[in-house]
Structures are given as C-alpha cells and as structure tokens.
Amino acid sequence: MYVIPKRNTMRTNFAVAGTMVLALAALAGCKLHIAPEVYLSDLRVAAVDDESGLTTSTRISVQIPSSDECAKYRTEISKVVHGMFPEYAIAGCRSEGFESFLDIDAMIPLVNTKMEWDDSRALLGILSLQDNGDISVGMLLNTHRYDVLSKRMKDEFFQDLDLTDSRIRLIVNNDARRTKHFIVEGVFLNGDRPVLKAAKFPIKRRQKVEITLSNVAASSLARHGEVPVIRVLY
C-alpha cells in the first residue's frame, strides 16, 4: 500500500509567511525621514531680507533594504539624490529597530518669497514670513523634484517614496538673548507630546524644541508643497 507522505506544515507556513512579508515590503512605500534644524536669528533675517541667501542644515534619512551593505547603497543613493540639494554629503548607514536607513546631511534654503524658492531649485526649503511682528515658519517641498526623486527610488529600489509614513521634524534653536515663546498646533512636541489645538510654549535661551508633523500635515506637504509649522512670538 502506497502511503502519501505528510507535508511539513511548519516549514510550509514559514515559507508562506516569508513570501507574504516580502510581498508587503515591495508594496510598502519607502520612508524618507526629514529633520531640518534652524536658528531664530536666521529665521528673522530671512523673513525681512528677500535676498538673504541663507541656508540651513537638514538630516535626511532614506530607508534602504539593509545597513549591512552600506558602501553599495551609498553609491546608489548618491545617484538618486544628485541635483536635489545645493550641498549634501552621505553621513552613513544605521539600523532603527527592524528598519535600515542611509543618512544624508544637506543644506537647504531659507526663503520668504515664491520667486526666491523657485530660484533655489532645491527639493526642500524653509519658509520664514513676517506676521504682524511675529515670524511664521513653514516647510517647503518642491513637488516636481519630489516626483523625480520618487521615480528614481522606484527605479533603483522598486519602491515609491511615502511621506505619510515618514517622520518629518523641524528643530528650532533659540540663539536669542532671552526666552522666546511660540505657537504650534496639530503636531507632536519634543518627541511624543501631542498638541491638538493651538497652544503657546516657551523656549529658553540656548535651548531647542523639536516639532514633529502629524501624518495629515506630512500628506499635505507631499500634495501641496507647503505646510505651516510654528509661529515665533516677538
């Protein structure tokens, strides 16, 4: 009598699960964490000077398949981001939980007019405007360049960029001589403190505050190319 051998169900289940994970990873978007760092003195100058030419630094973290082959991905990401920033340098690779990222340090413009922003031809920028004696600050995204960058990522890694699942922060340093106050809403403050309604907070001299955009704000930035972040009171 011929007996049909039993299948190794445990091995089969692992194989199926592994295939599903790979399939989901292919379908998921590639994260692009963004963290510009600005100083109040620069924001004030940029708000009043149409041709200040000021820039500020930002850390950009691009999700990659693995940090174990950093040299390989450095070359590939360099090709992907070429021409997106006035200046940039690859900082290295790292792991964050089960995800891997390649970090880029770049310079981005501080502007107060659309003409100045268009002339910069940068992927990212900071908008600083006079607002009844205060300074309103927002983040800018060149949506055309973002689409180009996303296409390059898809050609190289088979994944589109996804800002809605990314972490977008603005780090504001108080380099003034005294404590300043600011207003934010619909953001996370200093990591995990949710601020739903508009509220005022202090930022002491020589201290900094970290503002993380919500998913809705990140989606708006990706769609419209601009999102308000903070109002600094003077």
DSSP of 178-219: S-EEEEE-SEEETTTEEE-S-EEEEE-TT-EEEEEE-HHHHH
What is the pLDDT at residue 16?
Answer: 41
pTM for the full predicted model: 0.86
Lowest-pLDDT range of 101-105, 114-118, 186-190: 114-118
DSSP of 102-137: EEEEEEEEEESSHHHHHHH--SEEEEEEEETTEEEE
- Convert the pLDDT of each residue in 189-209 to its tens digit: 998 899 999 999 999 999 999
Q: Answer left, alpha or beta for residue 120, where phi above 0 means left and psi between -120 and 50 means alpha.
A: alpha
Which pLDDT band holds residue 161 (cuts at 50, 70, 90)?
confident
What is the pLDDT at residue 21?
Answer: 37
- Convert the pLDDT of each residue in 83-112 to its tens digit: 999 999 999 999 999 999 999 999 999 999
% residues pLDDT > 70 (the chain):
88
